[in-house]
Amino acid sequence: MKKRYFIAIAALVLCLSCSDWLDVRPAMEMRKTEMFEHEEGFKNVLTGAYIRMATPALYGKNMTMLLPEYMTQHWTIAANTLPAYISRFDYEQADYKKLLASIWLAYYQTVVNLNTLLGEIDARRDLFTNGNYNLIKGEALGLRAFLHLEVMRLWGDLPGNIKEDQPAIPYVTTVTKDPNKLLSLSYREVSRHLLADLDSAELLLKDDPITYCFNSVLNSPGLYDNYTHPEDPYHFYRQNRFNYYAVKATKARYYHWIGDATAAARYANEVINAVNTDNTPKFALGNENDARMGRLTFPSEHIFAVHNSQARDVITSLFIRSTDGYTQDSVRVKEAYETGAHANDIRYKNNRLWQSRFVQGHDKYFNYFKKYVMNDQTPVEVVPVIRLSEMYFIAIENGHPERFPAYRVARNLSNSLDSELTTPEAIRARLEKEYRKEFYGEGQMFYFYKRHAYDRFTWPTSYTMNLANYKLPRPDVQTIFETL
């Protein structure tokens, strides 16, 4: 019998003190009439989805710096703490269960934001100007697919174990009081919905301003009046929106996840090969100048990023002043960055990504992680979610090792690596190291391990991984109910 899963909206809101975006009772229906009387209401709802994604509940902390990084042992771990429970996959521990439930809820709350918008936008198409119907609907559909893919990568099976007819996750496309529409769909059905959303988004966003304007222009309204630029202020800052290339990058990520090498490489290469009107790259790999200026999230690589308005509090507490923040032993870090062979790695040299500082009052050195800090004190507010280097890695792993030298040169690694990529096993071994170095603090290492079903982590120390732990348990408060 097909197993049913539901999002227990009332219980989750009660337990986790969340906002009323999951309230689908008549109060929401009454608000919608006023909310969507003008184009601005649609913009506000979509902006609300981006804001929620940028909070610490998702990519402002939990899904970049916290959960996936501790699951791969990237930070040092104190005994009897939440990080300790995360790192040993103690899913029954109360605080860990609460964290997972809050992340699950945050994803589906954001989906509800999007579905509320999508449920109204077609009937009110005449409200929109300047191509904003296509832009807003395209972003919302693309985001909905992206968020469900993220949930599937965490709570779904190992890619190698997926059986298309087995239950996967709920793929929620409507705001509804009917619990029968909140079923966990099969992997086949989830894939069908996900690709339909991405295909529609790609078509709607074909005239996205990012396709014909330079990112530098879009990121600096008013400074490049002599260049092609949007007339509508809403069309700027496309790297912080789910733009046309974010759709293609998500397709690359999806096909890579399910093991379709041809499709994964095709979409990854489309993003890599994207160019401006003067034939310069649309997205450029970060380089020495970026690293020297402290731009270690490499903004020129951002295909999709979120603006974290709480960055000052989060980053300061974790990476600037705290001695209880996220760190790693300096000897282990040197091993990870292979400093003996690659002493001039632009990320590591000159205390760029890590810096050991003596802390007065504690009488000890503390190894500070600096990816999210500029000039030692200024928190980075824009957090990358999809970067160009991931597209390079996807292409490399799926039949295009000739992409590796460009990445290697950008990071100033030894050219001795080029001759090593002769077999799939050698490529995977090299990419394991590069994922760790490249995405430290961004949460991507866990998905590399899960995609390849690693049963042992070798860094920072040896850790035997129970393959069953790659599939996160669903929250206890997710249950079957008859009515709201």
Domain chopping of the chain, boundaries: 9-208+454-470, 307-382
Share of the chain above pLDDT 70, in %: 90
pLDDT at residue 36 above 90? yes
Q: In the structure encoding, which two tokens stand for residue 445, read together?
A: 């290492």
- pLDDT reported for residue 324: 81
- pLDDT reported for residue 69: 98
pLDDT at residue 482 above 50? no
- Which whole number is the average pLDDT over 295-303? 98
- If you ran DSSP here, which 8-state letter would residue 319 be given? I
pLDDT, tens digit (0-9, with 9 covering 90-100), for 369-383:
999 998 878 999 999
Four-CA torsion 308, 36, 145, 55, nearest 10 degrees: 20
pTM of this structure: 0.92
The CA distance from 80 to 405, in Å, is: 44
Mean pLDDT of all residues in the chain? Answer: 90
The CA distance from 181 to 184, in Å, is: 9
414 by DSSP, 3-state: which?
coil
pLDDT, tens digit (0-9, with 9 covering 90-100), for 189-199:
999 999 999 99
Four-CA torsion 428, 433, 434, 435, nearest 10 degrees: 80
More confident: 40 or 475: 40
- pLDDT reported for residue 23: 39
- Which whole number is the average pLDDT over 85-108? 96
129 by DSSP, 3-state: which?
coil
Which residues neighbour 324 within 8 Å (Cβ) at sequence distance 6 or greater? none
| R_g of the chain, CA atoms, integer Å | 22
pLDDT at residue 183 above 90? no
Cα 91 to the chain's mean position, in Å?
22
For residue 179, which phi and psi values (nearest 5 degrees)? -65, -20
Cβ atoms within 10 Å of 310's Cβ, excluding its own: 14
- pLDDT reported for residue 25: 37
- If you ran DSSP here, which 8-state letter would residue 377 be given? T
**pLDDT tier at 321 (50, 70, 90 boundaries)?**
confident
185 by DSSP, 3-state: which?
strand
CATH number for the domain running over 9-208+454-470:
1.25.40.390
Cβ atoms within 10 Å of 361's Cβ, excluding its own: 6
CA-wise closest residue to 442 among 296, 328, 344:
296
* Helices (H), ranges, 306-417: 311-315, 330-336, 388-397, 404-411
Share of the chain above pLDDT 90, in %: 83
- pLDDT reported for residue 24: 37
- pLDDT reported for residue 34: 81
pLDDT at residue 51 above 50? yes
- Which whole number is the average pLDDT over 147-171? 97
- Which whole number is the average pLDDT over 437-447? 98
- pLDDT reported for residue 27: 39
- pLDDT reported for residue 16: 37
Cβ atoms within 10 Å of 381's Cβ, excluding its own: 19
Q: What is the DSSP string of 209-250?
A: GGGTS-HHHHTSTTT-TTS---SSGGG--GGGS--HHHHHHH
pLDDT at residue 32 above 70? no
CA-wise closest residue to 257 among 418, 145, 101:
145
- pLDDT reported for residue 358: 84
CA-wise closest residue to 191 among 255, 246, 139:
255
**Residue corresponding to tokens 């923040």:** 325
The CA distance from 379 to 373, in Å, is: 5
- Which whole number is the average pLDDT over 141-150? 98
- pLDDT reported for residue 13: 33
Strand (E) or helix (H) holding 54:
helix 39-54
- pLDDT reported for residue 477: 61
